[in-house]
Amino acid sequence: MTTLVICIDRSGAIGRATNVPMPVAGWEAVRSLVTDAGLSDPEDASVNCLLESLRVARDLRDEREESVVAVVSAESESAIGADRSIAAQLDDLVDRYDPRAAIVVVDSAEDEQVLPIVESRMPVDSVDRVVVRQARDIESTYYLLKQFLADEQLRSTILVPFGTALLLLPVLFYYFSAGTAVAGVAGLLGAALLYKGLAIDRFVAGMPERIREALYAGQVSIVTYVVAGGLTLVGGFFGVLAASELGADAPRIVEVMEFTYAAVPWFAIAGVTAAVGRLLDELIRDEGIRTPYLNLPFVIAAVALVVRGFAGYFLAQEAILDPLEMMGVVVSPVERLAAFIVAGIVVSLVGVKLASDVGTETLEDVIDTDRGADGK
């Protein structure tokens, strides 16, 4: 029974550097591949990954265990094409050697993403992660900075925001105080780093395409999203208007509670409107309703009830809200809060029950369809 020691190269750097057909298997073949890859690019971490694969195979051989060292390298630029080419190479190795298990050698998190593909074809006994040690001296720091400056993506992500901030700093110092200038520059740098770090730039870049596809597909949610945006603006307007009527001497926390109490119903209606539009899109597609989309309107309504209940409780304690009377009985602020909380829980449970029932019915329909197709 053979143990397969596999060096994974998802980026395809080894194949491009050596122009050798993949996969490569066997001690001599891999050792020759190390020489070719090292001569092509001595700084590539894949060379260390190849050497580690040879070392692992040698250790297994010293322990009297039959092993074969192999290299798989992607043959496509796209992620899906790369994974499919690696899967085909793994199938070739399985047909040739019929391995008992595999030991996977990787040198990056990208290579480790291929691990499920390997596990689907053979048991994986171990994953060997290669970490290259770097000399921590001035010369290596210089070369790291040189490589950093040569990377266009890193330059645009780090150097451009810092350069813009340094240019704005003298202007802000001239027109504002030192504290205001430093705060403004810090806010600019923070916004720029979050913009790139949270991949907001990719989201913004792909938004026109998504909007165009949604318009051409005739999705109802486009209209409901616009309505929800308008309702949100209305809620914010009424909330600010209600908070401004309290007077200048009102505590800030009371203004926040008044804004919340006035705006939450509009926000809730906006959220439910958007959720209903998404639910209608699911119905139009005729692919069955997914549980999250069915449960979302009830969750929004339940949260809105609870939040409005707490805001009303604080306002009632400050005697800003008039006491609530029901059938001649004055309801205390605590009883009022409890009623809102119970109503929120009931709405949430109704949503969970409805989503569960619809999900069960959908599952039964799928089972009945499969039985009908099998003739049973």
21-49 per-position pLDDT tens digit:
899 999 999 999 999 888 888 878 788 88
- pTM beyond 0.75: no
The per-residue pLDDT for 290 is 60
Q: What would the mean pLDDT of 152-172 be, rounded to a whole number?
A: 78
Per-residue pLDDT at 211 exceeds 80: no
Residue that the structure tokens 């809730």 belong to? 268
Q: Which of 182-196, 283-297, 302-316 has the highest mean pLDDT?
A: 302-316
The per-residue pLDDT for 363 is 42
Per-residue pLDDT at 372 exceeds 60: no
How many degrees, rounded to 5, is the angle at CA 359 between CA 355 and CA 363? 175
Higher pLDDT, 105 or 209: 105
Q: How far is CA 322 from the centre of its chain?
A: 46
pLDDT digits (tens, 9 = 90+) for 53-73: 999 999 999 888 899 999 999
Q: What would the mean pLDDT of 200-227 be, rounded to a whole number?
A: 76
Per-residue pLDDT at 286 exceeds 80: no
Q: For residue 356, what pLDDT band results from cuts at 50, 70 and 90?
A: confident
Residues 6+ apart with CB under 8 A from 266: 231, 232, 234, 235, 236, 238, 239
Cis (ω within 30 of 0) for the bond into 23? yes
The per-residue pLDDT for 104 is 93
The DSSP-derived string for 298-356 is HHHHHHHHHHHHHHHHHHHHTT-SPPEEETTEEEPHHHHHHHHHHHHHHHHHHHHHHHH
Strands (E) in the chain, as ranges, are 3-9, 24-25, 67-73, 101-106, 124-129, 324-326, 329-331
Candidates 53, 67, 74, 57; CA nearest to 7 is 53
Per-residue pLDDT at 329 exceeds 80: no
Per-residue pLDDT at 347 exceeds 80: yes
Q: What would the mean pLDDT of 268-288 be, rounded to a whole number?
A: 79
Q: For residue 172, what pLDDT band results from cuts at 50, 70 and 90?
A: confident
The per-residue pLDDT for 218 is 63
**Number of other residues whose CB lies within 10 A of the CB of residue 265:** 15
In angstroms, the CA 359 to CA 352 distance is: 10
In one-letter notation, the amino acid at residue 350 is V
Per-residue pLDDT at 357 exceeds 60: yes
The per-residue pLDDT for 86 is 92
Q: For residue 215, what pLDDT band results from cuts at 50, 70 and 90?
A: low
Higher pLDDT, 355 or 296: 296
The per-residue pLDDT for 233 is 94
Q: For residue 364, what pLDDT band results from cuts at 50, 70 and 90?
A: very low
Buried b (16+ CB within 10 A) or exposed e, 131-141: eeeeeeeeeee
In angstroms, the CA 234 to CA 273 distance is: 14
The per-residue pLDDT for 142 is 60
The per-residue pLDDT for 116 is 92
The per-residue pLDDT for 366 is 42
Higher pLDDT, 352 or 371: 352
Cβ atoms 20, 36 nearer than 8 A: yes
Handedness of CA 197, 200, 201, 202 (dihedral sign): positive
Per-residue pLDDT at 255 exceeds 80: yes
Which token pair is 351?
């949503």
The per-residue pLDDT for 56 is 92
Per-residue pLDDT at 373 exceeds 70: no
